[in-house]
Structure formats: C-alpha cells, structure tokens
Structure 1
Amino acid sequence: MRVLGMMSGTSLDGIDVVLADLDRDPSEPSTLRARLLHVGEEPWPEATRRALRAVLPPAPADVATWNRLHAQVGEAFGAAAARVLARHGGADLIAAHGQTLHHDVRADGTVAGTLQIGDASRIAAAAGVPVLSDLRAADVAAGGQGAPLVPILDQLLLGGDAGEVTAVLNIGGISNVTRVGAAPLLAGDLGPGNALLDAAVHAATGRSADHDAALARTGTVDAAALEALLAEPFYARPLPRSTGREHFDAEYVRRMLGERALAALALPDLLATLVELTAVTIAEGIASLGATRVVASGGGIRNPLLRERLAAHLAPLPLRDADELGIPADGKEALLMALLGHLGAHGLPGTLALADGTAHTGARRPVVLGALTPPHALRDLPRTAADGTPVTRLVLHPAS
C-alpha cells in the first residue's frame, strides 16, 4: 500500500512529506516494511503561512477567519500532494495531519479538545486520492492527550534494540520524548522547543527564526530570567502530558518575566536564555527516564547552539541523530503520518497499549485514528489475512 504522509508542525517551516510503500514481511507478518520512495518538504504559500501565524495564540481570531484558513490549508496540502504524486507516482491513500490551530489543555492537565484544520475534501479533490485526516480527535474522545502520536513509530523502529533504553526526542515548536526499549513505555511533551525562540526572533526582526543561532551565540544567559522561566508549573506534571502554542505563545515570556525585565534584555541575551531554557527542560525531562541513549530529530536539533547545550546537559548520556540510525530526522513526523494512514486503513490502533490496557496518551484504550474522505474510498483496497495482525516492528528501506 502506497501512502503519502503529510505533516506541518507548530513552527510552520513547510509541509513535510513522505511517500512510502508499506507491506508485510511474508516470513514475519507482524513486521511491516516501508520503502521510502520520497522524503521532502513542500513550501507553504507565503500568504497562507502569514495568515496562520496571525491567528496563533494569543492573537484573537473569529470563526470566519478560521473557516477561510481551513479551506486555504486544504488547498495548500492538496497542491503539495499533487506535486509530489506527479513527480514520484501515485498513492492509495494520503494521511494528512493538517495544521494545529488549538490544543485545549484544562487546568488539571486533561485535554478538552484539539483542532487541526485543512479541508480533506479539497486535498482529495486536488490529488485524486482518498484522505485520512483528523488524526488526534479519536484519542482525545477516549480520554487521551491526543499527543504525542509519534511513540508508535518510535516503538516499532527502536523498541526492539536489545539492552537499550532509548529516549527518542523530537524538537519541533514543542519538544516531546518517548521512552522505548528495556523499560516501560512512557511518552509526553517536555515543553517549548523552537516555539519561544521563533516567536522572540519574529517579534524583534520579522524573521522566522535565528538561523544557525547566529544571534543567540553572541548573547549571554540571564540567570534571573532563566530561573523565572523554569518556575513554569507545566514542568512538574508527570508524563503523559501535552501542551502547545496555546500555552507557550508569543506573549508567554512577557507574562513570565514582566514588562520591565523583558525590556532590559537585549535580543541576543534573550535568545541565549531561551536556548538554555529549552536545553535544560529537555535534559531534566529525560534525566528521570533511565535512558542509555538519546536519539533526536526535528528542526531544533539543527540549531547548533541548542544541540551543544543539550549535549552538555545530557552528558555523559550520548546524543545521536535519528539519521545515524537510518531514520529520516527531517521527515520523521511525515513518516509517522504514513504509518498511521496504513494502520487506520487496516483498522489497527494508532496508539500503543500499556500493561494495564490504557493507551500511551493516557486514553482509556488504544483507538483507530482518523476520518476517511470520501468514506467509501478504501472499500476496494486489497486485503490479506496478515493485514489484521498487530504490528510489532517497522523496517525502513530507502528507495533504490
């Protein structure tokens, strides 16, 4: 089954895409094989990216604006899918995450709802392929956090490594971790990844990010500001937990430090402090997991200063790139979408079961994820007896 996975994270860098041909290993039906036909990134239309940035919390937005964006994001995903499939061949299914606009976490840490936009009908119309979308809502309906979803991919790729306890780290707008291997599965969000850094740079310069940490490297960490930011109550919540830009928004640092303290910080010093905040909160979140290694992916790991500071705080625990292990670090979340698409198409849960029967997200049980557009689209999908077998391992094969 050929699945195009599509993902846009909170950083809005682009639309990540992975086209994968997935099938069962004939000699071991519980092993799923994925031949990676294409791994890449498609650009956002600049007007759509600006419009999305303009409605992210704490900015106010009305229903009409969100409605228009739902259509525009669907059109952007549809155009991106059509381009990829025209270049690399067709697909049986598109699994599209869409763009998160709101992830509603209550005061007690439970999730009231989650909203990802991107009209699936427009994607299907543009690409001529059925679309699985709304990939978080079923988990939230079952009492889960709806995030992170990547642990199922982490477990299938790295959970079988003998003797290892691996902390699988992703640093996007928000950072998250999965513990897999020779210890019970545990996962959740750790805190801000790139979100606060990008917001500070954009507010001061209009640029999307501090590329290569050029500004942050010239700054000095402000100890008092760092201490104030580390007082955030979210860091004391146990895993599983989730958060988003609704909490760590563009005004978050101002709320935590106060107007006068923030104004006293030069931009390079603010950025250096936020890099240190991200590194410290990630390292402290991982410290209690008993890991023997950390395997990292996501845009944040490309920030050289953040990587250096994170490695220093994790030491002597080794920090490795996912690419070193044959996992496409920049396309990992799009690969996850392709995996969830395959699992959903065959009626298999997209979350992992813990020993007590609950899901890794805190849901009452693992559930099948996603809604299909059009609803009858996969009725003719060829099926074998192996397709209903729970998947215990995923093996990646780069396209020849």
Structure 2
Amino acid sequence: MELFIGIMSGTSLDGIDAVLVATNGKQVELKASTSRPFATRLRQQLLSLAGGSAITARQWGELDTELGQAYADIVLQLLEESGTPAAQVRAIGCHGQTVWHHPQGPLPFSLQLGDANRIAAQTGIVAINDFRRKDMALGGQGAPLVPAFHQQVLGNSGQMRIVVNIGGIANITVLAPGQPVLGYDVGPGNMLMDSWCKRHCGQPYDKDAALGLQGQVDTALLARLLAEPWLALPAPKSTGRELFDEAWLTARLPATLPASIRVADVQATLAEFTASAIANEVNKWPAGELLVCGGGGHNPLLMQRLAALLPRWHVDTTNSAGVDMDAMEAMAFAWLAHQTWHGLPGNLPAVTGASRPAILGAIHLPG
C-alpha cells in the first residue's frame, strides 16, 4: 500500500477537500482528511467565471496561480494535521476547479484551474492534474470519472447497487452484478438549491433543509423544471453550471412570484426536482441499494424524498458501506493519481463514451 493525496473542489464551490489514503489500486483506506472554505473573493471570482463572465488573460493566469497556491496550502495543512512527512507520499491527485465543461459540439473541452506546478513546488510531492482531457480527446465526455473508483470500493457486494453523488451536479454509478459499470450525470444536485438559498436567505446552502422543510412543492413549477430536454438525453452525458445555472432557473419562474408561492415553496420544489431527476433514472433498474455521497447526503429533505420516490430501494449513505460520503470524491482523485503514476487506465469507456481505456492526467515533478 502506498500513500496518495486527493484534492477536490466541486461544482458547488463550497470549499476544498483533501484526503490522505493508502492504496494498492484495489484496496483504498482513508488515513486522514481535512477541508477549508474558499476565500470569499476567490469564490465570487470563480462563480462569475463559471457563469460565463469574460475575464482578461492576466486575470485568468492569476486565478490559476491563486488556486494552485490554495491547493498547495491544504496539502501542507493535511500533512501537518496527520503528522505525515511529504517524502512518504507518492503523489497528489488534484481535480482542479472546473470553470467550463463543454463535452458537446465539434470542439469539446473541459477546463479546470489550479496550477499543479505550484502544488508540486510548494509541497515537494509529485502533483497530477488535468484528468479529463485525455478521455475527451478519445471521444469521451471526460466525466464522470468517479464511477471507476466506485467500482473498486463498492462494487463487490454481490447485490444491485447504485451510488449517487450529490454535489453541485448529481451523478449515478450503476453497479449491477455481472454487468459492466455504467454512470452518468442525471441533473442538478445542490446547485439550484444553494443558489436560491443564497439569493433569498443570504446563506451559502440550506443547512439541515431548514428552508425547504417549511415549503410545499409547486407542481406546475416542478413540471417546468422536469421538462428540460437535457434530462431525456441518453448516456453518456455530463453537465454543469453551463446549463443549470441561476439564469436557467429564472427563465422557468414567473417574473414575479405569486402570493401563493413562497420562497420556501420554491426551495422545496428544487429539492423535489433533484430527487425526481435521480429517482427517474434509478427506477430504470431492478431494486436494490441506493447509496448517497456528497453534500446532498446531509440534506434531510432530499434524503426523505429519495426514500419516498424509491420505495423498493434501500436508501442510505455510503457511510453505511464503510466509505466516508464527504471524502468520496477526493478519495477518487487520490486513487486516480495512483492509476496514473503506475501507468494504469483511469476511465471507463462505457461511462464516458471514450473509444478506449486511457492513462489520465498530467504529471508535474517537484524538482
């Protein structure tokens, strides 16, 4: 078993997670984890950029550098908190911060910021990033990449399992015994709920579903949300803020909310939208176990609605299967760093649509 570090900052832009794992590629053991929020100014700049705002080349370069430093800082924090010498860590896998994901069209691409040269130089550890573009060069979506990791840590139960990661976007991994692993994005996760809560409550997210639990689902609004054509597209597919942003939601709301619809009702409807988009896909499979990871697993309303919409399924978090739901994605990129470092493929063509398995990522040496 070798030590690897994984760094993840997702679509929700709620902060940076870092984990230290021991792995041989087959077994993965979480040794330590830490997290830190984004600086307010940096988060606002990233949200603006992901929302399509134009920036100069200088601003782009400065953001890349600032993020690289933030990632290096959290690695140093993790090493200190865990008492781990940098020399004992084989490599760091850093997803980077996605600012635009465009898997369709004649020139598909996916852009993540965060200078891995700076991570390597500041930590003295090999840093590996840019995991998505090799898959896209081979005709894939470049996402989701986590299903390959789900297969390693949750795919040997002998029963029907679906893992749903509910971050900013929700994606599922189908682990059916005796069948190839499938996985794809299914729609918004926390993103729209977070945006609505921020706009009307000044909070970055709806902690403990305090707002959503006060509301009632507006069926007309829910129908408009579920009518989004992207939801009906076949897999492989992936998405992000490029589609499901605040403007997308605003276009489906009345210009002025009628008195019959309260702010809490919209929040409840957005939770129902996320749960329904997930359940519509899960219900296509024979009943089994649905395991939730990501921030959505802490939303009691979302968990209640998933259980209600999937009565034939046992709904729980990945904690029940021995994998920390909050550390899952960062652990996946530590595992992907292991794959890259050892010259092993990290993608699943059946998931991403790539023409073949491939070694993913770019390696940055500290020397």
TM-score by length of 1: 0.86
- What is residue 13 of structure 2 aligned with on the other side? 12
Shift of the alpha carbon at 1:2? 1.4
- The residue correspondences of 1:1-400 to structure 2 (distance < 5 A) are 1-23=2-24, 32-88=26-82, 89=84, 90=86, 91-106=89-104, 112-162=108-158, 164-182=159-177, 183-260=179-256, 265-352=261-348, 358-374=349-365
Q: Distance in 2 between matches of 1:167 and 1:15?
A: 26
Deviation at 1:39, TM superposition (A): 2.3
1:308 CA drift (Å): 0.5
- Residue 261 of structure 1, CA deviation: 5.3
Q: Secondary structure at the match of 1:227?
A: helix
**AA matched with 1:36:** L
Contact 1:299 1:330 in 2 (8 A): yes
Distance between the aligned counterparts of 1:66 and 1:202, measured in 2? 26
| Structure 1 spans left out of the alignment, 5+ residues | 24-30, 353-357, 378-400
Contact 1:95 1:340 in 2 (8 A): yes
RMSD: 1.9
| 2:212 counterpart letter in structure 1 | A
SS at match of 2:230: helix
Q: Give 1:126 deviation, angstroms.
A: 1.6
Distance 1:212 1:231 in 2: 28
More displaced stretch, 83-92 vs 292-301: 83-92
Distance 1:114 1:343 in 2: 21
**Amino acid in the other structure paired with 1:20:** V
Cα deviation for residue 316 of structure 1 reads 2.0
Once the two structures are TM-superposed, the CA of residue 16 in structure 1 deviates from its matched residue by: 1.1
**Counterpart secondary structure, 1:44:** coil
Structure 2 Cα separation of the partners of residues 246 and 341 of structure 1:
27
* 1:257–1:19 distance in 2 versus 1, CA, 3 Å: same
State the match for 1:380 in structure 2. Answer: none
Q: Which moved more, 1:110-119 or 1:267-276?
A: 110-119
CA shift digits 1:132-170 (9 cap, x unpaired): 0011111111111111111111111222222x1211111
**Cα gap change, 1:121 to 1:191, in 2 (>3 Å):** same
CA contact (8 A) 1:7 1:96 kept: yes
Say which SS state the counterpart of residue 330 (structure 1) adopts.
Answer: coil
Distance 1:274 1:267 in 2: 11
Aligned partners of 2:327, 2:267: CA distance in 1, in Å?
26
Q: How much does 1:291 deviate?
A: 4.0
Q: CA deviation at 1:218?
A: 1.1
Equivalent pair of 2:19/2:78 in contact (CA under 8 Å): no
Alignment size in residue pairs: 361
**Is this contact kept in 2: 1:158–1:181, CA < 8 A?**
no
Deviates more, 1:247-256 or 1:43-52: 43-52
Cα distance in 2, alignment partners of residues 173 and 263 from structure 1:
29
Q: Secondary structure at the match of 2:252?
A: helix
Deviations 1:83-137 (A, max 9, x none): 1112321212111111000001436xx8810001001111112211110001111
Moved more, 264-273 or 236-245: 264-273
- 1:237 maps to a residue whose letter is L
Residue 314 of structure 1 and its aligned partner are, at CA, apart by: 0.9
Q: Residue 56 of structure 1: CA displacement?
A: 2.3
1:251 counterpart SS class: helix
- For residues 257-313 of structure 1, the C-alpha deviation after alignment (integer angstroms, 9 at most, x for no partner) is 352458974211110110111111110011112241111111011011111111100
Tell me, in whole angstroms, the C-alpha distance in 2 between the residues paired with 1:47 and 1:102.
Answer: 19
Flag the 1:121–1:261 CA change in 2: closer, same or farther, 3 A.
Answer: same
3-state DSSP of counterpart to 1:329: coil
1:193-239 CA distance string (max 9 Å, x none)? 00101111122233211111111111111111111111000111112
The percentage of aligned residue pairs carrying the same residue is 40
Q: Which moved more, 1:329-338 or 1:45-54?
A: 45-54
CA gap 1:147/1:201 in 2 versus in 1, 3 angstroms? same
Conserved in 2, the CA contact under 8 Å of 1:111 and 1:144?
Answer: no
One-letter amino acid matched to 2:223: E
Task: For structure 2, list consecutive stretches of 5 or more residues without a partner in the other structure.
Answer: none
Q: Secondary structure at the match of 1:319?
A: strand
- How far did 1:359 drift? 4.0
* Partner Cα distance (1:332, 1:254) in 2: 32
CA distance in 1, matches of 2:107, 2:240: 11
In the aligned structure 2, how far is the partner of 1:262 from the partner of 1:365? 52
Whole-Å separation in 2 of the counterparts to 1:280 and 1:40? 32
1:58 and 1:249 in contact (8 A); partners too = no
SS at match of 2:6: strand
Q: How far does residue 58 in structure 1 lie from its aligned partner after superposition?
A: 4.4
CA distance in 2, matches of 1:265, 1:68: 43
